[in-house]
Amino acid sequence: MATALTSPAAGAEAALRLPDRLAAASAGAGLRPGCHLVRLTLDREGTATPPVEYDGTLRVERDAVGTVASGDLYLRRPSGLGGSLSHEPDPAAGIPVFARNDYRYYVRVTDIAPGEGVGDVSLDVELERYGGAAGKWSREGGFTADLTRAQAPPGYPSAGDFLRGDVLDASRRRAGGVTIGWIADRLRRAVIEVECVDGCEAPLANAAGMDWRSIFAAIGWDVAVTHTLVELADPGEDGWSDAELHAALSRGDQVDLDAEWRFRLLCVRRLRPDERGRMFDAAGTDSNKVPREGAAIAAHWMIPDEEQWGLVRHLRFGTATDPYFRTAVHEIGHAMGLEHNTAENGFMRPTDAISRGVIPPQRFPENVVWAYQDEDARRLRHLPDPWVRPGGVPFRLAYLGAPSLPRDAMVAPPSCSSGSRRSTSPCRSAPRYG
């Protein structure tokens, strides 16, 4: 019968979709690792009021132990009301960036289980509502999303990695609807702008070639780097004060932090007081009340002529490639909200502590660990957006003030479950942030 014939176009489409379906099936009950675009509609009491809509991201991290997932939701403002309008994110445009004022919910995924059909997923989540400038959170309660695998609408990069379904409250009553579609391999994205005053080296990589991109790729961030030479008058032999650094940061065209996560690293000759580097955009120095936009590093700081500094003793900092780049990554770590972490010799341990702690025959900086310590990596992946994005909450609004991070939501495969679940205890951090 003629009606049974499939059009060539539809046939090609079906053939193209097959690998996606196989991938979905092989993933079992899981969600594909990476960033998913979430669209949530919450019903409201009564029929006269329209539902409230949110857009956001769900970050799915899979490691040897299991799956950890968290997300953030931003209010989608109704169009046509004037003022700043929310745009629906384009799933083809990669990881979306939302306006900070629209931030509403942190999503902690507590369980991921197989649904009824192949590739279907049942997701248990807890929603934490954000209280804005006061930084207060309130638990909205636990919800379950019963998700059915569906064909993604146009624009999504993977037709088979799309789910839709109802959101149910704790009493199994419908609270709304949701769609979740995979959009990128990475979890978060940002730009790091390296701005160098004349005579200052750009910290772009370590001696072994490990650069910003590879460091952040290891923790699931998609980081682009720009490097520019800037003409800024040196404030004097004593170096740059925090206020002078902030004024330099605020010059010229301002970055729209509601359109991109851009962290800026100023590379100057000296800092005042005399330090290696500093995340200066905090507290009283943050005169424009846009926290953590940038950090600075001192290319002309002299490494002390002392034994503890090993292979780089008495070098000008900008010429000591490894510790210079490491400090740059450390300061940007502060700009991303991280505090000091002395658990290992990773990026957030202060440089002098690493050099003091070297055990011969190693010599500093051979004992540097070129990674964010596990808990810091976990924070960068799963802390709520306002904690890590530039222009979010002020620096040193402690991790304890944020909702607790998700634990493994699904331990897989079961035979590997050794009880070694990840700890969510925050590290105790030193009060300094140089």
> What's the rounded Cα separation, in Å, for the pair 116 and 223?
38
Q: How far is the CB of 340 from Zn ion (least distance, A)?
A: 6
Binding to Zn ion in span 317-356, by CB under 5 A: none
Nearest CB to Zn ion, comparing residues 364 and 433: 433
Stretch that binds Zn ion, among 162-170, 230-238, 241-249, 425-433 (CB under 5 A): 425-433
Q: How far is the CB of 307 from Zn ion (least distance, A)?
A: 23
Centroid of chain to Cα 350 = 22
Q: Give the helix/strand (H/E) hosting 328.
A: helix 321-335
Nearest CB to Zn ion, comparing residues 395 and 433: 433
- Long-range CB pairs of 230-234 (<8 Å, 24+ gap) are 230/195, 230/196, 230/197, 230/266, 231/198, 232/197, 232/268, 234/197, 234/268, 234/269
Let me know if 63 is exposed, middle or buried by CB neighbors in 10 A (0-12, 13-18, 19+). Answer: exposed
Residue carrying the six token digits 């034994």? 307
Nearest CB to Zn ion, comparing residues 30 and 434: 434
Q: How far is the CB of 193 from Zn ion (least distance, A)?
A: 20
Q: How far is the CB of 338 from Zn ion (least distance, A)?
A: 9
Q: How far is the CB of 379 from Zn ion (least distance, A)?
A: 15
Please choose, from the candidates 275, 293, 300, the residue with its C-alpha nearest in 3D space to the C-alpha of residue 198.
Answer: 300
Q: Which two tokens stand for residue 229?
A: 């030479």
The binding track of 375-414 with respect to Zn ion, each residue x by CB under 5 A or -, is ----------------------------------------
Nearest CB to Zn ion, comparing residues 169 and 344: 344
219: Cα within 13 Å, side-chain hemisphere: 23
Nearest CB to Zn ion, comparing residues 329 and 358: 329
> What's the rounded Cα separation, in Å, for the pair 402 and 60?
19
Q: How far is the CB of 433 from Zn ion (least distance, A)?
A: 5
Binding-site size for Zn ion (CB under 5 A) equals: 2
Nearest CB to Zn ion, comparing residues 65 and 430: 430
Stretch that binds Zn ion, among 73-81, 87-95, 198-206, 426-434 (CB under 5 A): 426-434
* Residues 362, 376 contacting (CB under 8 angstroms): no
Residue ranges binding Zn ion (CB under 5 A): 433-434
